[in-house]
Amino acid sequence: MDVRDRAQIRDVVDAIVARFGGIDILVNDAGITADASLVKMTEEQWDRVMDINLKCVFNVTQAVAPVMIARGKGRIINASSVVGIHGNFGQTNYVATKAGVIGMTKVWARELDRKGVTVNAVAPGFILTDMTAKMPGNILEMMKSKTPAGRLGTPRDVALAYLYLASDDADFVSGAVLSVDGGISI
């Protein structure tokens, strides 16, 4: 679905509820980058990243939360990033969205936890994906050298964090930001 289209989101949520009877887990993971330094970033770059990375998290969560509240349970897991905690050169828009996701996660945990819905965020570090695999080797080596674990993360590393936060084992975890970054944030 187009996570920018609130009507489409509502239709998809209604269809899921009609077919499955509810929604147990929401993972807000849509995200883009449009990197540029502060003085070179265009308004279009700013707006596009804000719309996809921040506003869409709000849109989808606002549509799904009432379904979870009505059932008295649910897990909302938001994708952030270590750069949302520490910043990164040339990513004003991206960092703002990922820091905003952390802020929304904490607010929603306060609002929804008493209603049986936990809200947490995952903040990956340097993860070896198709996107990062296209980066120059010297950049990948630099990223690896800055990571105390001595390696880049894998999609599996991140998936296991999501799996934990979605599980009953994380029933008392809410408002947390789980860094999956090989120690880079320490």
Q: How far apart are CA 35 and CA 84, in angstroms?
A: 14
Whether 1 is in a domain gets the answer no
The confidence band for 186, taking pLDDT boundaries of 50, 70 and 90, is confident
Q: DSSP assignment of 8-50, as one string? A: HHHHHHHHHHHHHSS--EEEE-------B-TTT--HHHHHHHH
Average pLDDT over residues 149-170: 96
Whether 186 is in a domain gets the answer no
Q: What confidence score (pLDDT) does residue 185 get?
A: 84
Whether 173 is in a domain gets the answer yes
Residue 36 backbone dihedrals phi, psi, to 5 degrees: -170, 155
Kindly tell me if the per-residue pLDDT of 131 is higher than 90.
Answer: no
pLDDT digits (tens, 9 = 90+) for 99-128: 999 999 999 999 999 999 999 999 999 999
Q: How far apart are CA 145 and CA 65, in angstroms?
A: 41
Catalytic residue among 9, 94, 99, 120: 94
Query: C-alpha angle with apex 163: 159 to 164, nearest 5 degrees?
Result: 120
* Pick from 146, 152, 110: nearest CA to 128: 152
- Per the structure, how many domains does the chain have? 1
Its domain, for residue 71, covers 6-180
- pTM of the model as a whole: 0.93
Whether 185 is in a domain gets the answer no
| CATH code, 102 | 3.40.50.720
pLDDT digits (tens, 9 = 90+) for 25-50: 999 998 999 999 999 999 999 999 99
Whether 109 is in a domain gets the answer yes
Q: What confidence score (pLDDT) does residue 76 get?
A: 98
162: annotated active-site residue: no
pLDDT digits (tens, 9 = 90+) for 137-148: 888 898 899 899
Percent of the chain with pLDDT over 90: 84
Six token digits for residue 48:
């596009």
